[in-house]
Structure 1
Amino acid sequence: PRRPASGPARISSSPRRGAQSTQAQGGHGAPPQGGRGHKKQGRGMRIFKGFMKFVGVCICLGIMAGSVLAVVLSMYVVKITAGDADLLDLTNLKLAQTTKIMCPDPDTGEWVEYASLHSENNREWVDLQEIEANPYLKWAFICVEDKDFYTHSGVNFKRTIAAFINEYVLPIYSSRQGASTLDQQLIKNITDDDEQSAERKVREIFRALGLDNRYEKDTILEAYLNTISLTNTVAGVQAGATVYFNVDELSNLSAAQCASIAAITKNPTAYNPYTNPEQHLQRRNWILKLMHDQGKLTDAEYEAARTAPLVLAEEAEKEVVTHTSNNSYFTDAVFEAVTQQLMADRGLTQKEAHSLIYNGGLRIYATVNPFIQQEMEKIMLNADDAIPALWREEKVAAKTSAGEDVDPTTIENIVANEDGTYKTGTDTDGSPVYYRRVRTQAAMLTMDYEGNVLALVGGLGQKNEDLGLNRAILDDHPRQTGSTMKPIAAYALGIDSGLINYSQGFPDYGIGMMLQSELNGRYPALAGQLLDFDDPEVLAHPELFNQWPRNYEGFGDGSTVTVRLALAKSRNTVAVRVGQLVGVDYMYSFAKDTVGLSHLLATDANYAPIVLGAQGGGVTLMELTGAYQMFGNGGEYVTPHLYTRVEYATTGEVLIDNDINITHTQAIQSSTAMIMNKLLQNVLGGDGTAGTSIKPAGDMEAAAKTGTTTDNKDYTFVGMTPYYVTGVWWGFDQPYDMTKAGAAGKNAKPIQKAWKQFMDTIQTDLEFKAFPSSDDVVTATYCDDSGDLAGPNCPSKRTGYYTQDNMPEYCTLHP
């Protein structure tokens, strides 16, 4: 049964608690103020606290991510700027500049620039003090490139952000905007790091900040103005001033010229003043306006500069273009000589030596005479083919060393058949060959009697490459000298030792030389000996001997020939007889050690090489010419040289003192030198091998010697005047009988005529000068038949030159 509603209830005995419980259980009474509101407030607090926790976590994560990012960025910056301390060392950068070859001015004697040596850029460093001597120069660059240069920290962040947005977010501007400061441009100039990428830009920014932190602004500006590119191989404001306006002192540049130099660097091709003058002027005048607007030009200065015409330096006109390469043969020779000296004295590798020359800012004080060099180049250009360009065919391998076929179209002057196919054949080993046509070459070198090489040309025709084969110098081209060797070793030493005299007579016939087939120890007493054909040993064993040597005309007839005539006509028979008297060992050591024929081999210590010039090692034209100094220099030999010293331009420190390598040696007595000079003058006489037509014009004396090697493979000539000694060579690079190519026998008249033409040009305005004389030399009349002192009945007489202790006897042929 249901319990009555009025039945007992389970409620608290406390009315207050009962009332509270009733209210709490949702009775009909009004709820207390704020009951449900407190519940909402707790939930909002929890949400807020949760949000703040979330924010806190985000901040912590952000800090952690930022820290990681900072570490990563730091590592990236360290990585991308590794080595920057050396790469961006502005102190060392200052030393990387153009090397100049200096020479004495022919008129004033002052040192002037002859040539420059640089790898990529022609750059001459100038200090900021020299730059600031011009009130316009630095501001022309700052106003257009980086007007806030002196206030920013290496990077213009406002311009950088704008450029970034324009490039990668929203194209604000119609074209790509530059934001690089001068610091950043300098970094690009130094590092060549100019790829178009965000990574490169980040790398550049950090480098610029570091650079600005390490160096003063003026130091950065100085480096920038010395490294800017100004078309072709020109870099830096000094080179620009010289090349474009022929201005040596920066202080002499006008405001317009300063703005022109600044205009070029934006785009060296588009704003080249020679090729695009209109575009160049527009940019120049815009820069002038910026300078005016920024207070660096007054109204009057601006107007004068804006209306100034563009007047560029004209390239010096040359009468004859002698080479299309950058350097003359002389410049090449100096480069090679300094390279070798740096390797020897400083222990540098060839690569290191080349780098130092190209980038070291050196001053090389050379011996070249620009006038003489230019005149020699004209002669050797050979525009009129005065030195005939003889041709022959030469084999060229049809396969490479790897066995691949050679493309015949790459072979210069390849020989073709009449049907258009290429001529082919086989080499001595049976391998296939093509043929090409090659021509004769020539070389000429002139020096004074102090060993100064004044001019040299190492090839015939136009010079088309730098550092190619230079046939005049160093180790490039040692060749056999032929009869030009006779005066050096045999005759000079014979007179110097008192073994022969000016007019001494010798029989003109060969000497018995034992056949090589018999030099096997069977006749040890005769091995290596040269004997007259009337010698008992020869008469007893004629089958063992060959007559040797022979003259150009054949074996002599045994008649007496004087030393004067034998040297004038270049008689081999007499020269070898004189060499016998002197001795092989003495001649060899004198030639190699005393007068610098350093390429002679040990096997050249024999009569054919050391007397007749049939060397195995050969002699360079520079060595041969140098040896002849003693005949016009009182017997003194001076080491031939191309330069005297090398200095650093910025400090004046001497890098190479070549003077210490230049020796002065009294090779022969002054009396011997005078007598030999008189003998050699006869070569240019009526019965000499050169003849009177080769003697230079004017009253000055001249002496010479001709030389032709076996089988006419090399023609040489050395000519002397009181001012100069000059050597000339003519032949094929690969020795070949010149007569088979069209030369007229043992006739080197073309190079002799070239020497005469050269002397007539460079000696035109020189004062008269005589060869040195010697008080020890006396003159006497001798009999031309016997060579002895002439008696009253001698039918033919000449004047001879002797020393008092080496006079001939009186002639007995005509009592």
Structure 2
Amino acid sequence: MEHTGNGRSSRTRQGRGKRRLRKFVAFLFSCGLLGVACLVAGALYLRTQALPVGTFTQPSQLYDMRGELIASFQGGENREFVPLKNMPKYLVDATLAIEDKRFYDHVGLDLRGIARAALVNVQHMGRVQGASTLTQQLARNLYLTQDRTWSRKMKEAMYAVQLEMQLSKDQIMEMYLNDATYYGNSAYGVQSAAKLFFGKDVADLTLAECAMIAGVPKGPRYYSPYFNMDNAVERQQLILTEMANQGYITVQQAEAAKAEKLNIRPAEKKSAIVLAPYFRDYVRSVAINRLGIDEREFDEGGIRVYTTLDLTMQRAAEDSVSRQLTGGDTGELQAALVAVDPRNGYVKAMVGGRDYGENQFNRAVSNSRQPGSAFKAFVYLTALQQPGFTAVSRFKSEPTAFTYDNGRKTYTPSNFGGKYPNALIDLREAIAKSDNIFAVQTIMQVGADKVIETARKLGITSRLEPLPSLALGTYPVSPLEMAGAFGAIANQGTRIETTVITRIESSTGKLLYEAKPVKEKVVEPEYAYTLTNLMKSVFEPGGTASRVASTIKRPVAGKTGTTDTDAWLVGFTPELATAVWVGYDRDKMISSLDSYKAAPIFADFTEQALEAIPPKLFPMPDNVTSVYIDPATGKLATDRCPNARSEVFVKGTEPTEYCSEHGSAPPADGKAEPKKSGSWWDDLKRWWND
């Protein structure tokens, strides 16, 4: 009986143990099911939740007039988006080999990698190994800060899983290589890195170059070839070894790439990796401050900004400025250039200084420089519209003290170098030689208020005061204003509002803005043409820009301007109006050698910019006539006048009396020809004008 009792008790205990085990297994199974259900519910929840504001930020892009990409914006930095299909496979493989071997296997979090990193860190009693996947790095760069906190790590993990749910692996890799990688020197994304380090597009990188670039993001200063070449090469070779170990390349390929000599470009300034940087900044300012585009949307909203810039002309402008300000004793000499198409008001080129990397101040749009004699164009255009004032109107150029303000004040201008003809000169000679006495005589006769009115109509918005000195350009203006104003003259008196943005589209193609430039006739065509014809003499023998006449192979008109601190040439062809300024930022006196640089920049740029366009004559309006005059008297020339020249007049203002000082009666047909024919070009111009 005792034995039987002990057996029954043992069997009872075994039964209870089995029941407890079954309950425990059932509990674990239930927990497992609950865990799976929670994971499924969590996944479904994450799948339906939107990512934070700013999700998938896209760089806004800037295009020139032909649709060629100028720059990309994001956070104020220059980027260029490149589709994954246009990237070399070596670059993707190198990135995977060193950053995330299991990228195509995990779901945003690499649990195996996390466990391995945790074990290593415990063994070393510190954090020596991380386990962030490419997806986590992308999530951190898109939505989070770099703070090392548990809350940030939790959010990073959550956003990484969401990214994996909403994007394909290739899309994530594409975004990572374009948006989440920084290479130092203001270069974001693999395209900027390729241009920065090797001066080529990312598609053209070799295996060795891909491995070098893939190693930099780990530490843009520590692994950059610009900051530590030894570290950069060591990491590049590690990546090549890993690529071979993981089967992306053969050992022989790895060794050949390790032996390849890398041609790292010298560290260059910011301007070297940004096209048209001053124009880019100006467009951004116009879009945000004038057109009301939100700043963040402009930088990161994926909008497309279509501009008026012609990159071919822009390169010509930058080349022309650089050529004149390179070498010699140029020191801190600065320059600015703005070119405008007078037919539509489009800004085609803009250079705001000699080196954007050193100084981002845009002198092309700053109204801080005196235009000097270039302002005389507005004085003479005003005068030509007054009764009795024509191309043969004359004043005596001699030292003169002018009184104004009812005789209470005196203004005593002087000619350049203190040189005076001490004789009567006409308007053509005054323009060609930039005579200051003639200009002040003119503004005193027509009134400074009227000159300001003309300047305003042409587009000058800077502060101007009705003083005699206004004739000599003593009030600062911007090159952009001057180019636009001269463009109105080139466009036969019709001003079209200066424009840099033609339209702006959202990332989805919605039209946000479309330019509708104001067009207005501000001067009658005959007066604009008359002044244009007179300003051509600036480039002819004896003119202040005659030294560059041989460079320009087409009809051109313009006006030079020189002050103690500034040198200008503002001129135009029928297709292009250009303002060039040269000087110093600190109002330092310019030397005569410095003052001669504006004209060569203008001439060189004009020819380069219009190289593919045949030369065109300025169209003569119907209300203009051309006659031969005697410069000494301003009367109609006879066949005995020794220096007869062709001159243009608004019909009804041409002289009617013949010169009688050279002993001959007027010709029987009423026309007089000059005694000598000039060059074939002069003959062509005379034929055209007649």
With normalisation by structure 2, the TM-score equals 0.72
Using a 3 Å threshold, how does the CA distance of structure 1 residues 307 and 500 change in structure 2: closer, same or farther? Answer: same
Counterpart for residue 466 of structure 2? 605
Q: For residues 656 and 239 of structure 1, what CA distance do their matches in structure 2 show?
A: 29
Q: For residues 622 and 473 of structure 2, what CA distance do their matches in structure 1 show?
A: 32
Query: Is residue 492–residue 676 contact of structure 1 (8 Å, CA) maintained in 2?
Result: yes
Amino acid at match of 1:208: A
Q: For residues 642 and 279 of structure 2, what CA distance do their matches in structure 1 show?
A: 54
Using a 3 Å threshold, how does the CA distance of structure 1 residues 171 and 803 change in structure 2: closer, same or farther? Answer: closer
The secondary structure found in structure 1 opposite 2:278 is helix
Q: For residues 484 and 708 of structure 1, what CA distance do their matches in structure 2 show?
A: 8
Amino acid at match of 1:597: I
Q: For residues 723 and 369 of structure 1, what CA distance do their matches in structure 2 show?
A: 13
Using a 3 Å threshold, how does the CA distance of structure 1 residues 626 and 220 change in structure 2: closer, same or farther? Answer: same
1:513 is displaced (CA, Å) by: 4.5
Given candidates 349, 352, 358, the residue that maps to 1:455 is 349
Q: Say whether residues 1:614 and 2:474 are aligned partners.
A: yes
Q: For residues 417 and 182 of structure 2, what CA distance do their matches in structure 1 show?
A: 65
Q: For residues 396 and 233 of structure 2, what CA distance do their matches in structure 1 show?
A: 79
After superposition, the C-alpha distances for 1:276-328 in whole angstroms (9 at most, x for unaligned) are: 46753553463465467xxxxxxxx989987996899999999xx99664566
Counterpart for residue 403 of structure 1? none
Query: Is residue 787–residue 811 contact of structure 1 (8 Å, CA) maintained in 2?
Result: no
Q: For residues 356 and 172 of structure 2, what CA distance do their matches in structure 1 show?
A: 36
Query: Is residue 387–residue 751 contact of structure 1 (8 Å, CA) maintained in 2?
Result: no
Amino acid at match of 1:103: D
The secondary structure found in structure 2 opposite 1:806 is coil
In structure 2, the gaps of 5 or more residues are 3-48, 664-690
Query: Is residue 365–residue 645 contact of structure 1 (8 Å, CA) maintained in 2?
Result: yes
Using a 3 Å threshold, how does the CA distance of structure 1 residues 329 and 672 change in structure 2: closer, same or farther? Answer: farther
Given candidates 111, 121, 125, the residue that maps to 1:167 is 121
Q: For residues 150 and 378 of structure 1, what CA distance do their matches in structure 2 show?
A: 47
Q: For residues 495 and 552 of structure 2, what CA distance do their matches in structure 1 show?
A: 27
Q: Say whether residues 1:334 and 2:195 are aligned partners.
A: no
- Counterpart mapping for 1:507-656 below 5 A: 507-508=396-397, 513-514=402-403, 528=405, 546=410, 549-552=413-416, 559-592=423-456, 594-601=457-464, 604-609=465-470, 611-615=471-475, 618-648=476-506, 650-656=507-513
Given candidates 603, 620, 623, the residue that maps to 1:776 is 623
CA RMSD in angstroms, aligned pairs only: 5.1
Amino acid at match of 1:335: D
Counterpart for residue 208 of structure 1? 157
With normalisation by structure 1, the TM-score equals 0.62
Q: For residues 115 and 236 of structure 2, what CA distance do their matches in structure 1 show?
A: 30
Query: Is residue 722–residue 769 contact of structure 1 (8 Å, CA) maintained in 2?
Result: yes
Given candidates 352, 374, 380, the residue that maps to 1:484 is 374
After superposition, the C-alpha distances for 1:666-724 in whole angstroms (9 at most, x for unaligned) are: 3322222222121111222333333x333133652232322234xx3433222334453
Q: For residues 455 and 811 of structure 1, what CA distance do their matches in structure 2 show?
A: 48
Matched pairs, number:
614
Amino acid at match of 2:55: L
After superposition, the C-alpha distances for 1:621-676 in whole angstroms (9 at most, x for unaligned) are: 2211221123433333333344433444x42344443x22x333333222222221
After superposition, the C-alpha distances for 1:59-102 in whole angstroms (9 at most, x for unaligned) are: xxxxxxxxxxxxxxxxxxxxxxxxxx89x52x7232243x4433
Amino acid at match of 1:596: G
Q: For residues 101 and 389 of structure 2, what CA distance do their matches in structure 1 show?
A: 85
The secondary structure found in structure 1 opposite 2:291 is helix
Given candidates 729, 732, 752, the residue that maps to 2:599 is 752
Given candidates 542, 559, 562, the residue that maps to 1:687 is 542
1:810 is displaced (CA, Å) by: 0.7
1:342 is displaced (CA, Å) by: 1.0
Using a 3 Å threshold, how does the CA distance of structure 1 residues 497 and 183 change in structure 2: closer, same or farther? Answer: same
1:806 is displaced (CA, Å) by: 1.9
Query: Is residue 510–residue 547 contact of structure 1 (8 Å, CA) maintained in 2?
Result: no
Amino acid at match of 1:446: A
The secondary structure found in structure 1 opposite 2:136 is helix
Given candidates 265, 269, 286, the residue that maps to 2:242 is 286
Using a 3 Å threshold, how does the CA distance of structure 1 residues 721 and 622 change in structure 2: closer, same or farther? Answer: same
Q: For residues 556 and 256 of structure 1, what CA distance do their matches in structure 2 show?
A: 70
The secondary structure found in structure 2 opposite 1:185 is helix
1:560 is displaced (CA, Å) by: 3.5
After superposition, the C-alpha distances for 1:512-563 in whole angstroms (9 at most, x for unaligned) are: 7546xxxxxxxxxxxx35xxxxxxxx9xxxxx67575554476978843322
Counterpart for residue 425 of structure 1? none
Q: Say whether residues 1:103 and 2:44 are aligned partners.
A: no
Using a 3 Å threshold, how does the CA distance of structure 1 residues 282 and 239 change in structure 2: closer, same or farther? Answer: same
1:148 is displaced (CA, Å) by: 6.6
Moved more, 182-191 or 145-154: 145-154
Q: Say whether residues 1:493 and 2:345 are aligned partners.
A: no
- Counterpart mapping for 1:654-733 below 5 A: 654-657=511-514, 659-660=515-516, 662-690=517-545, 692-697=546-551, 699-709=553-563, 712-733=564-585
Given candidates 391, 416, 420, the residue that maps to 1:502 is 391
Q: For residues 787 and 145 of structure 1, what CA distance do their matches in structure 2 show?
A: 84
Query: Is residue 707–residue 716 contact of structure 1 (8 Å, CA) maintained in 2?
Result: yes
- Counterpart mapping for 1:83-94 below 5 A: 89=52, 92-94=54-56
Amino acid at match of 1:346: G
Counterpart for residue 364 of structure 1? 305
Query: Is residue 492–residue 524 contact of structure 2 (8 Å, CA) maintained in 1?
Result: yes
Amino acid at match of 2:306: Y
Q: For residues 162 and 347 of structure 2, what CA distance do their matches in structure 1 show?
A: 51
Using a 3 Å threshold, how does the CA distance of structure 1 residues 480 and 258 change in structure 2: closer, same or farther? Answer: closer
Q: For residues 240 and 735 of structure 1, what CA distance do their matches in structure 2 show?
A: 39
Using a 3 Å threshold, how does the CA distance of structure 1 residues 778 and 333 change in structure 2: closer, same or farther? Answer: same
After superposition, the C-alpha distances for 1:182-236 in whole angstroms (9 at most, x for unaligned) are: 443333333565566xx53x75246424653686153687346413526335555
Using a 3 Å threshold, how does the CA distance of structure 1 residues 487 and 501 change in structure 2: closer, same or farther? Answer: same
Using a 3 Å threshold, how does the CA distance of structure 1 residues 182 and 698 change in structure 2: closer, same or farther? Answer: closer
Q: Say whether residues 1:472 and 2:364 are aligned partners.
A: yes
After superposition, the C-alpha distances for 1:85-120 in whole angstroms (9 at most, x for unaligned) are: 89x52x7232243x443335xxxxx43233444558
Amino acid at match of 2:336: A
Q: For residues 772 and 696 of structure 1, what CA distance do their matches in structure 2 show?
A: 23
Sequence identity, in percent?
24
Counterpart for residue 71 of structure 1? none
Amino acid at match of 2:176: T
Q: Say whether residues 1:445 and 2:338 are aligned partners.
A: yes
Moved more, 111-120 or 629-638: 111-120
Amino acid at match of 2:137: Q
The secondary structure found in structure 2 opposite 1:686 is coil
Using a 3 Å threshold, how does the CA distance of structure 1 residues 380 and 813 change in structure 2: closer, same or farther? Answer: same
1:335 is displaced (CA, Å) by: 1.0
